[in-house]
Amino acid sequence: MDRNDAGRQLAGLLAAFRGDDVVVLAPPGSGMRVAAELAATLHVLLDVILVRPLAVARHPDLVYGILGEDETLLIDTTAVADGRLCEAERAATEEAQAEILCRNAFSLRGDRKRADLAERTVVIADDCVADATALRDICRMARLHGAIRIAVAVPVAARQAVATLSPYADKIVCLNATAHAPDPDRWYVQSETTTSTDIAALLGANHSCGWSDGFTGADKRTTPASRSSSMRGL
Residue 233 pLDDT: 35
| CA-wise closest residue to 126 among 117, 118, 137, 115 | 137
| 107 has pLDDT over 90 | yes
Distance separating alpha carbons of residues 128 and 30, to the nearest angstrom: 9
Could you tell me whether strands 73-76 and 222-225 are parallel, antiparallel, or unpaired per DSSP bridges? Answer: parallel
* Buried b or exposed e, range 197-228, using 16+ CB within 10 angstroms: ebbbebbeebbeeebbebeeeebeeeeebeee
Residue 228 pLDDT: 36
Q: Mean pLDDT throughout 54-64?
A: 95
Residue 215 pLDDT: 55
| 7 has pLDDT over 70 | yes
Distance separating alpha carbons of residues 96 and 112, to the nearest angstrom: 22
Query: Which comes out higher in pLDDT, residue 209 or 191?
Result: 209
- Decide: 40 and 70 in contact? Cβ < 8 Å: no
Query: Which comes out higher in pLDDT, residue 193 or 222?
Result: 193
| 127 has pLDDT over 60 | yes
Q: Which pLDDT tens digit goes with each residue over 71-94?
A: 999 999 999 999 999 999 999 999
The SS3 call for residue 89 is helix
| 229 has pLDDT over 80 | no
Q: Which pLDDT tens digit goes with each residue over 128-176?
A: 999 999 999 999 999 999 999 999 999 999 999 999 999 999 999 999 9
